[in-house]
Chain A
């Protein structure tokens, strides 16, 4: 076979099953763009490279498979870094292929030359600077293998322009990259874990993104049900158990319900599955679950003991470990513990003041949920609206919930929702956003219109950087600084200016009907929802404090 490096890249991506790539062309990746002409892969032109990275995340987070984005050298590469860093912190398999100046010019401060390799070392799982066209035969499959193996993560491949244009002659395509076998774990450890669980009177499962990454939700339900163990989820673990499940405790941690954090305080065993003891979940780590022993199962060995030393740490694919555990764990009703957890949950439930009023945070989220099918894909930006959605949206399935957890990136929501809509055109992709965050990638309204993505943006508009305002109110003596917007754009008009259908619930005689109609109509739609500026997300554990020091969120709090 004889082809250019750019054509080879396309063939290898096709062989990996890639059907769509988001990106922006520029001088240093033009050979790759030319190769789209002879490829089955569809290209989606975004309006800022960061959005290409997030669109790839939208595809990867919903399908569980690696997704690809393209950027040119220099500013293209620097623009996409945030989305790559976001993928690293949330373990999302994204493959970013950047153009680079020709090999001979590297190191000469050539036009649009930047050290993409150096910049991406700390924010990728692995990265490459491809020096010869032959290397592509190993680098591309390897990149996919690495992105998918063990704990997933992003890989950047920087390809100089001359490598893209160089011709290569070779006999056979390499095998597509496939994930490495998961780590082997010992049955003795499983037996010990089962012993600890069987001996525990008050166990709790603390479930995270690893459950979703390893497709362990059915196994998790079986374990919880067999041994009557309640399950609390991290922000990224939401969807691992349906909201309606009797053993489901909702989210724990900084904005978890009071009852859930109290149950964590009382438990005598924490079964930590696919989690990393993030400070947003644990609060002050030294005081997390003070009465409990810990069993920690994770595919990343470096997480075992990184924050809390477990009594038993098992390096394993969580699904395989739970499946091995199931026959060893005794069926148990745990009536006393079940009664106690029920009592705590009933006394301290997740309070959702205003849920009946559409123009409140909980109201708009709950009523939007009620109007959607239960397979709708929900993404958010970052701020109060994100936490309200995490608390209030009744998730049913894994991979239904897309949010920036580790990096907490404003601007994540819209492009990620578009990526999800591309991956699942028959489902509705809804992005709950804030009036601060939406402006960070608002240009992607053009992309959504251009490809007629089935994306609905529900904007919780409080005229503020709400979560910043909240922290200034609670922890800085209400000395507000740089958290209020004096200029408040008319978002419905802006959306219409992009050619998108829009409605503003402030101006609707029947807002519920207008919302339902907006969600029902196919294609993209922007829904502006005015909410009060003073609403706070409660309960809240002050940053750095222990989870038992929750502020607000009592059920009898004023609505």
Chain B
């Protein structure tokens, strides 16, 4: 459930759709359905958050998760994946922008059949920092 203060300005969060999909091509930019958040000006650090996913472990699961980011123009800054225990599931850590589209991102991820669980991972940044030592 989402409840909002009725006096609040109506749509501070809504994607703006001035040039929403136009078959005629009169909208030169041919905007995507869910346009990406505006790029932060150079030099500013975009806050990030780490999502921890439990996913079914099979060869196609990476295309499902990564494809969703590309398709919906969500930012994906980093990804770590390892199988757990008997190998039927994997854990994925996703480093993503903490912006107004995060909620939508989580909802879209949770619709993927192979994604079993999602939470925000408070200590996840440490994992990325550690890996950065190897590939930085």
Contacts and interface: CB of A to CB of B under 8 A. Distances in A.
A and B assemble together: yes
A309 B13 contact: yes
A471 interface: yes
Interface in B35-60: 59-60
Given A121-B64, A146-B113, A314 B23 contact: no
A327 interface: no
A192 B67 contact: no
A313 B2 contact: yes
A285 B33 CA distance: 11
Interface in B83-136: 103-104, 107-108, 110-111, 113-114
Most B CB atoms within 10 A — which of A126, A309, A471?
A309
B69 to A, nearest CB: 11
Interface string B18-46: 11111110110000011000000000000
B6 A122 contact: no
Interface in A470-509: 471-472, 475-476
A55 to B, nearest CB: 26
B22 to A, nearest CB: 4
A510 interface: no
A246 interface: no
A190 to B, nearest CB: 10
A105 interface: no
Given A301-B107, A311-B4, A311-B6, A408 B23 contact: yes
B16 interface: yes
Contacts of B19: 544
Given A284-B18, A311-B6, A543-B23, A186 B34 contact: no
B36 to A, nearest CB: 14
Nearest to A146: B113
Contacts, number: 103
Nearest to B60: A117
B107 A302 contact: yes
A314 B4 contact: no
Looking at B20, B33, B107, which has the most chain A CB atoms within 10 Å of its CB? B20
A300 interface: yes
Contacts of A310: 2, 4
A284 B13 CA distance: 15
A285 B17 CA distance: 6
A311 B24 contact: no
Contact of A293 (B6, B17, B27, B107): B6
Contact of B2 (A118, A285, A300, A304): A304
A467 to B, nearest CB: 8
B105 to A, nearest CB: 9
B104 A306 contact: yes
A126 B3 contact: no
Given A305-B104, A306-B104, A309-B4, A286 B14 contact: yes
A370 interface: no
A538 to B, nearest CB: 16
A386 to B, nearest CB: 12
Nearest to B11: A309
Nearest to B15: A307
A308 B21 CA distance: 16
Contacts of B21: 279, 543
A-B CB proximity, top 6 nearest? A279-B20, A302-B107, A543-B22, A471-B24, A126-B113, A285-B17
Interface of A: 117-118, 121-122, 125-127, 129, 146, 186, 188-189, 192, 279, 282, 284-286, 293, 300-302, 304-314, 408, 471-472, 475-476, 542-544
Interface of B: 1-4, 6, 10-24, 26-27, 33-34, 59-60, 63-64, 67, 71, 103-104, 107-108, 110-111, 113-114
9 contacts: A279-B33, A286-B11, A286-B14, A301-B107, A302-B104, A308-B14, A309-B4, A312-B1, A544-B19
